[in-house]
Amino acid sequence: MTIPYDDRPGGRQPAPRRRALMARLVGVAAVAGLAAAATAAPAVMMTGAAANSVADYWDALPTTLPIEPVPQRSTILAADGSIVATFYSENRVELPLAQVAPVARRAVVAVEDDRFYEHGGVDLRGTLRALVNNAGDGGRQGGSTLTQQYVKNVLLNNAETPQDRARATETTITRKAQEAKLAAALNRTMSKDDILQGYLNIAYFGDGAYGIGTAAQHFFSVPASRLTLTQAALLAGLVQNPYGYNPMVHPEQALKRRNVVLARMRDTGVITAPEAAQAQRTPLGLKPSEAANGCTASRYPFYCQWVRDTLERDPTFGATPAQRRRFMNSGLTIRTALQPRLADQAQRAADDALGRDNQFAAGVAVVQPGTGQVVAFAQNRSFGLGQGRTNQIYPALTAFQPGSTFKPITYAAALEGGFPVNGVQDAPARYRPDKLSYPPGGYRNSMAADAGRLTAGQALARSSNTWFVMLEEQVGVPKVVQMANRLGMTLPADKIGADEGSTTLGTHDASPIQVASVYASFAAHGRVCKPVGIVAITGADGKPRKAPDPQCHQEIRPGIADAVTAGLAETIDGPDPYRTGKRLSIGRPVAGKTGTMDGNAAVWFAGYTPQLATAVWVGDPRGGQKHPIDSVQLYGRRIGSVFGSTAAGPIWQDAMRSMHEGLPVQGFAPVGPAELAGTHAVMPDVRGLGRDQAVRVLQDSGFDVTLAPTAAGPDPLRPKDVVAAQAPAPGTAVGLSGKATITLSAGSDLTVRLPDAP
Residues 33 and 58: beta-carbon distance below 8 Å:
no
Q: Is the pLDDT of residue 29 over 80?
A: no
Cβ-contact 562, 669 below 8 angstroms: yes
DSSP SS3 for 706:
strand
Mean of pLDDT values over 522-528: 97
CA 371 – CA 72 distance, rounded (Å): 31
Identify any residues that bridge with 604 across adjacent strands, giving them in sequence order.
595, 617
* Entry field: residues in the chain: 758
Residue 91's nearest CA partner among 194, 230, 219, 196 is 219
What pLDDT, on a 0 to 100 scale, did the predictor assign at position 1? 32
For residues 607 and 384, which has the higher predicted lDDT (pLDDT)? Answer: 607
pLDDT at 143 (0 to 100): 59
The predicted pLDDT at position 636 comes to: 85
Query: Dihedral of CA 467/468/472/474: which sign?
Result: positive
**pLDDT greater at residue 548 or residue 680:** 548
**The pLDDT of residue 642 is above 60:** yes
Strand partners, 389: 382
User: Taking 60 as the threshold, does the pLDDT of residue 635 lie above it?
Assistant: yes
Smallest Cα–Cα separation from 213: which of 332, 83, 72?
A: 72
> 529 vs 50, 330, 498, CA distance in Å?
73, 29, 27
Q: What angle do CA 352, 633, 380 make, to 5 degrees?
A: 45
Q: How far is CA 407 from CA 281, 462, 529, in A?
A: 77, 11, 20
Match domain 1-60+108-203 to its CATH number in 1.10.3470, 1.10.10, 1.20.120, 1.10.3810: 1.10.3810
- For the segment 190-206, the average pLDDT, to the nearest whole number, is 95
- Residue 575 Cα distances to 160, 462, 581, 630, angstroms: 68, 12, 11, 30
Rounded average pLDDT over 683-702:
87
Look at the alpha carbons of 34, 37, 43, 49 in this order and tell me if their dihedral is positive or negative. negative
For the chain, give every domain's residue range.
Answer: 1-60+108-203, 403-659, 680-744
Distance between CA atoms of residues 355 and 379, nearest Å: 10
The Cα 576–Cα 457 span in angstroms is 9
pLDDT of 5 reads: 35
Rounded mean pLDDT of the chain? Answer: 86
Place 712 in a pLDDT band, splitting at 50, 70 and 90.
very high
Q: What's the pLDDT at 38?
A: 36
SS3 337: coil
Q: H/E element holding 80?
A: none
Contact (CB, 8 A) for 401 and 601: yes
Rounded-to-integer distance, Cα 569 and Cα 504, Å? 20
Beta bridge partners of 333: 75, 538
Task: Summarize the confidence of residues 267-287 as an average pLDDT.
Answer: 96
Q: How far apart are CA 511 and CA 516, in angstroms?
A: 9
Task: Give the fold, CATH level 3, of 680-744.
Answer: Trypsin Inhibitor V; Chain A (3.30.10)
* pLDDT for the residue numbered 292: 83
CA dihedral 166, 168, 169, 174 (to 10 degrees): 110
pLDDT one-digit tens code per residue, 426-478: 999 999 999 999 999 999 998 999 999 999 999 999 999 999 999 999 999 99
Q: Which residues contact 238 (CB under 8 A, 6 or more apart)?
A: 205, 206, 215, 245, 246, 247, 254, 257
pLDDT at 538: 94
Q: Cα angle vertex 419, ends 413, 420, to 5°? A: 130
Sign of CA dihedral 697, 701, 707, 712: negative
- Poorest-pLDDT segment among 270-279, 478-487, 685-694: 685-694
Residue 694 has pLDDT above 70, yes or no: yes
pLDDT in tens, 209-234: 999 999 999 999 999 999 999 999 99
Cα–Cα distance for residue pair 398/690, rounded to 1 Å: 50
632 pLDDT band, cuts 50/70/90, is: confident
Determine whether domain 403-659 maps to CATH 3.30.70.1230.
no
pLDDT at 580: 95
Please, what is the Cα angle at 39 between 34 and 41, to 5 degrees? 90
pLDDT digits (tens, 9 = 90+) for 332-364: 999 999 999 999 999 999 999 999 989 899 999
pLDDT at 48 over 70: no
DSSP 143: -
Encode pLDDT of 290-302 as tens digits: 888 889 889 999 9
The residue ranking higher by pLDDT, 99 or 696, is 99
CA pair distance 508, 502, nearest whole angstrom:
9
What is the model's pLDDT at position 634?
87
The long-range contacts involving 631-635, CB below 8 angstroms and separated by at least 24 positions, are 632/354, 632/358, 632/360, 633/354, 633/355, 633/358, 634/353, 634/354, 635/352, 635/353
Q: DSSP string covering 568-595, please? A: HHHHHHSS-TT-TTTT---SS--EEEEE
pLDDT at res. 739: 79
d(CA 522, CA 408): 9
The answer, yes or no, to whether residue 46 has pLDDT greater than 50, is no
pLDDT tens sequence across 304-315: 999 999 998 888
Cα separation of 158 and 85, whole Å? 27
User: What pLDDT score does 12 carry?
Assistant: 39
Is pLDDT at 673 greater than 60 in this prediction? no
Taken in order 575, 580, 583, 584, is the CA torsion positive or negative? negative
pLDDT surpasses 60 at 139: no
